[in-house]
Chains A and B, each alone.
Chain A
Amino acid sequence: DQQVKQNSPSLSVQEGRISILNCDYTNSMFDYFLWYKKYPAEGPTFLISISSIKDKNEDGRFTVFLNKSAKHLSLHIVPSQPGDSAVYFCAASAGAQKLVFGQGTRLTINP
């Protein structure tokens, strides 16, 4: 049972445009959500997070939006840069439970 789903395995975006990565979840008890970024031959690194008491969190070019009623999370990157090309994982946790990861979306930024 995949509790956290990233339905787009890949996404291609022009440099300078907005990248939108999506994540859906099924467990209504999830109350903390994170995005990780992974470059080839490296481990995932934390990018940005959001608690369920918020619906938006910004950090520079990265903004995460949470729609609890739709059980949907999205990551916006504006403007997209070539260095943003990576695999992005969303993850969620419920209370003190372990993180549950999505399958990842490979983002390619084209010059």
Chain B
Amino acid sequence: NAGVTQTPKFRILKIGQSMTLQCTQDMNHNYMYWYRQDPGMGLKLIYYSVGAGITDKGEVPNGYNVSRSTTEDFPLRLELAAPSQTSVYFCASSTLPSDEQYFGPGTRLTVT
């Protein structure tokens, strides 16, 4: 049982480039989330999804886009990368929004 998987583990982007961070879960969870964690800071919610086809903004959605075409996958798209998007990105999933969330291992992104 893989749980939540994320790819890639690391990525360096140049300013203005775009990329997609992949997230897949095999627990049949309806709820999925994207967080970012800046150095010395907590987890900030970027976007979340309550099921296939339904997404909503979190605290810090600017500069990001998401889609949820299947229960398993919840990719995060960065358009026009900026240095302020240098962070570690975590994907998570849960059965219910108030339940324990299961996290992926993270993607460390550097934008230079």
Interface size, B (range): 20 to 34
Given contacts A43-B4, A43-B90, A43-B103, contact A98 B42 (CB under 8 A): no
Query: In whole angstroms, what is the CA distance A34 to B92 when docked?
Result: 15
Given contacts A9-B40, A44-B90, contact A95 B98 (CB under 8 A): yes
Q: Is B61 an interface residue (CB 8 A)?
A: no
Which residue of A has the minimal Cβ distance to B106? Answer: A43
Main secondary structure, interface of B, reads: loop
- Chain B, 56-112, CB within 8 A of any chain A CB: 90, 92, 96-98, 100-106
Given contacts A34-B100, A93-B98, contact A104 B45 (CB under 8 A): no
Query: In whole angstroms, what is the CA distance A43 to B45 when docked?
Result: 14
Q: Is B2 an interface residue (CB 8 A)?
A: no
Query: In whole angstroms, what is the CA distance A42 to B5 when docked?
Result: 11
Q: Is B34 an interface residue (CB 8 A)?
A: no
Q: Using CB atoms and an 8 Å cutoff, list the residues of chain B in contact with chain A.
A: 4, 33, 40-43, 45, 48, 90, 92, 96-98, 100-106
